[in-house]
């Protein structure tokens, strides 16, 4: 069961009420993939007399309020997850202490050993050495590996 905010109009699976975009709804995904959508306030819940006594209207209203709050928290968490994963991607691209000068020196040394850029890419099976070398240690390692196979 998920609580979502409708992006497009839907009908309540319980009572058929039209639920407008922006309405909080409960969504049940059935095993065959169809989604059942239930509004929170459009229909009275089917409860037996005993449950009605245990669950006065006031309490039910509270629960609807809490469900709404939970949906807010859920969507905030999703936003946080999005932010964190975006940050992680940015880090994996940019988290390197290598400067343009380091790369110039790297290619200079590589050329001194008799390799050109295309050959190095072929050796490391990549289209960019930036994918292989993420740190100065990586750069030193690649240079010594190339040195071993240089003529
Ligand atoms: Zn309904």
Residue-wise pLDDT tens digits, 58-94: 667 777 777 888 888 888 888 888 888 877 766 665 5
Burial of 110-143, coded b for 16+ CB within 10 Å and e otherwise, reads beeeebeeeebbeebeeeebeebbeeeeebeebb
The better pLDDT of the pair 12, 70 is held by: 12
Beta strands 18-19; 35-39: pairing state:
unpaired
Which of 71, 73, 47 is CA-nearest to residue 59? 47
94-112 average pLDDT score: 88
Asked if residue 128 has pLDDT above 60, the reply is yes
For the segment 28-52, the average pLDDT, to the nearest whole number, is 78
Residue 24 or 81, more confident: 24
pLDDT band at 151 (very low <50, low <70, confident <90, very high): confident
C-alpha 45 – ligand 1 centre gap (Å)? 9
Write out the residues surrounding ion ligand 1, Cβ under 5 A.
12, 14-15, 17, 39, 42-43
Q: Determine the distance separating the centroid of ligand 1 and the alpha carbon of 37, expressed in angstroms.
A: 8
pLDDT averaged over every residue in the chain: 85
Which residues are paired to 3 by β-bridges? 26
The 10s digit of each residue's pLDDT in 35-45 is 899 998 898 76
Displacement of CA 94 from its chain's centroid (Å):
19
Q: Where are the domains of the chain?
A: 2-94, 100-149
Query: Would the pTM count as exceeding 0.85?
Result: no
For residue 18, what pLDDT is reported? 92
CA of 40 to the centre of ligand 1 (A): 7
């Amino acid at each position: 069961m998920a609580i979502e905010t409708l992006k497009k109009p839907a009908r309540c699976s319980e009572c058929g009420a039209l639920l407008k975009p922006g309405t909080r709804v409960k969504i049940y995904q059935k095993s065959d993939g169809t989604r059942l959508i239930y509004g929170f306030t459009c229909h009275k819940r089917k409860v037996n007399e005993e449950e009605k006594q245990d669950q006065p209207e006031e309490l039910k209203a509270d629960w609807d309020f809490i469900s709404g709050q939970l949906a807010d928290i859920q969507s905030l968490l999703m936003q946080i997850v999005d932010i964190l994963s975006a940050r992680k991607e940015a880090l994996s691209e940019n988290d390197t202490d290598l400067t343009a000068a380091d790369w110039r020196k790297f290619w200079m040394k590589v050329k001194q050993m008799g390799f050109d850029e295309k050959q190095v890419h072929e050796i490391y099976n990549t289209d960019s050495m930036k994918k292989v070398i993420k740190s100065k240690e990586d750069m030193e390692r690649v240079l010594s590996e190339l040195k071993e196979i240089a003529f």
